[in-house]
Amino acid sequence: MINDPWVSSLLHSVSTGICILSRDGRVLFWNDFMESYLDIPEQTILGRPIRDFFPAFGQERYKDRIDRVFDFGAPAFFSARLHSLFRADPDTGRDAELFQDLTISFLEGKGGGEGYALLSVHDVTDLNHKLEERNRLYRRAREEILEREKAETRLRESETRLTELNRTKDQLMSIIAHDLRGPISSNVLGLESLIGSYGDMGEEEKLEFLKLMLEGSNQTLSLLEDLLVWARVQSGVIAPRIERFSMDQLASREHQTFFQSATQKEIGLHLDLGSHLEVDADKNMILAVLRNLISNAIKFTPRGGQVWVKATRHGRTVRVEVKDTGVGMDPTTLSQLLEAGKLVTTPGTEQEKGTGFGLKLCQEFLQKNGGALEIVSQPGNGSSFSFTLPSPPTS
C-alpha cells in the first residue's frame, strides 16, 4: 500500500494507531501500534474487511458515515464516550475493555485515483478510566453532599419541632397556671367558705352554692379535656384515620342533636345539604369540628336568629359551611381566637360559657385532614365558618 519505505517506517514508529481502508472496507495498512495494541498481526488483517475483526464497522450507521468521508472528504470523529468501533468482539475472547478516540480522514490516491480512508486511533483507555473514576468520586461527593443536606434538613426540622414542643409546653403551663388554677382555686375557697358557714346557711342557699361550684367544676373539666386533646394533637400522638363517609348524613345527625337546644333559644336551625356527599377524612375529627361550629353558632346568635348548616359539592371537594345571624366578630377578636398561645373565652348571647379551645381544635383537626378553616365575620352581621374536604369522583 505504502511504497515509500521512509513513510512506512514513520507510520509504524508513531504511538498512534494508523489504519488505511479501501472504499469497500478492506484493510490496506496496519501499523505496529495497531498490531501490538489490538493483538492482531498485520499479515492476518491485511486485505481483509475490517468488519470481520470489528463488527461495529459493519453497522449501517457507521458505514454511512465512512462513505460520506469518501464522498465529501469531511473527516468523521468517533468518541470513546459514545462509540466503540474498536471494542473487540466478545466472542473472540479478546479484552473488550479498550477505549479509543477515532478520526477518519479522506486520503487522496496517487494521480487523482481512488482515495482511501485514513484511520487515526488514539488510545484513551487510561483517560477513560480516570474520567470514570472522577465521575464516580463526583457522584460519591454529590451523594455525601445530598446526605449532609438531608441531615441538616432533618436537624432543622428537629429544631423546629423542638421549638414547637417547647412553645406548646409553655402554652400548657400558662393555661394550667391561669385558666385551670383559677377555677380550681375558686372551688377550693368556695368549699372552705361553705364548710366554715355551713351551719349558718339555709338549705336553698347551700344548694345554690353547690350548683355554682358544680358548674365551675364542669367548666374546668371541659377545659381540661379540650386541653388534653389539643396537647395530644400538638405532640403528634393523634393521627388522622382516613375513611369514606357521607357528609350529608353526618350533618343531618348533628342537626337533630342540636335542634332542641336551638329551639329552646328560639333559633331557627336549618339544613341545606346536597345528596351523596361522600368525603375522605377522619370521621371523628370532622364530627368534632362540625359540633363545635354548630354549638358556637347557637351560642353567639341571639333569640330569634337563624343558623344554617350547608354542604355542597365543588368538583373533587365538598364544602361545609355553618352560617349564623349572630353577633359576629371584629378582626381583632378573630385573630386573638386563632392566635397560638392565647386562650380567649367570650360569653354567649345568654352568658353561655366556653373553654376557648374550640376553634383551635377545629383548626388542628382540619389541618390534620388537609383542610383549613375559613372565617368571614362582621360585628352585628353574623359569621360564616367553612371548610373543604376531599371527595371521590362521582360515578
CA distances (Å), origin 151, targets 50, 146, 193: 55, 8, 60
Q: What is the pLDDT of residues 72-98, one digit of tens each?
A: 778 888 887 777 788 655 555 455 677
Angle between helices 358-368 and 283-299 (to 10 degrees): 150
**60, 67 Cβ separation under 8 angstroms:** no
Q: Report pLDDT for 344.
A: 52
Among candidates 362, 294, 374, which has minimal Cα distance to 326?
294
**194, 206 Cβ separation under 8 angstroms:** yes
> Per-residue confidence of the chain (395 residues) as pLDDT tens digits?
677 788 888 888 998 999 999 989 999 999 999 998 888 999 999 999 999 988 888 888 888 888 888 887 788 888 877 777 886 555 554 556 778 888 999 888 776 668 898 999 988 888 888 888 899 999 999 999 999 999 999 999 888 878 876 776 666 566 565 556 666 777 788 788 878 888 788 888 888 878 777 766 776 776 676 667 666 666 666 678 899 999 999 888 888 888 888 888 899 999 888 888 999 998 888 888 888 898 889 988 999 999 999 999 988 889 999 999 988 888 887 777 766 545 455 555 555 554 456 777 788 888 888 888 898 988 888 899 999 998 888 76
Q: Report pLDDT for 170.
A: 67
% helix, strand, coil for the chain, step of 5: 55, 20, 30
Which amino acid is it at 262? A
Q: Report pLDDT for 107.
A: 86
pTM for the whole structure: 0.49
Strands 268-273 and 306-314, bridge-based pairing: parallel
Angle at 238 between CA 281 and CA 252, to 5 degrees: 35
Beta-sheet strands, E only, within the chain: 17-21, 27-30, 76-78, 100-107, 116-123, 243-246, 268-273, 278-281, 306-314, 317-324, 374-377, 383-390
Q: What is the pLDDT of residues 290-329, one digit of tens each?
A: 888 988 899 889 999 999 999 999 888 899 999 999 888 8
CA 391, chain centre distance (Å): 20
CA 341, chain centre distance (Å): 28
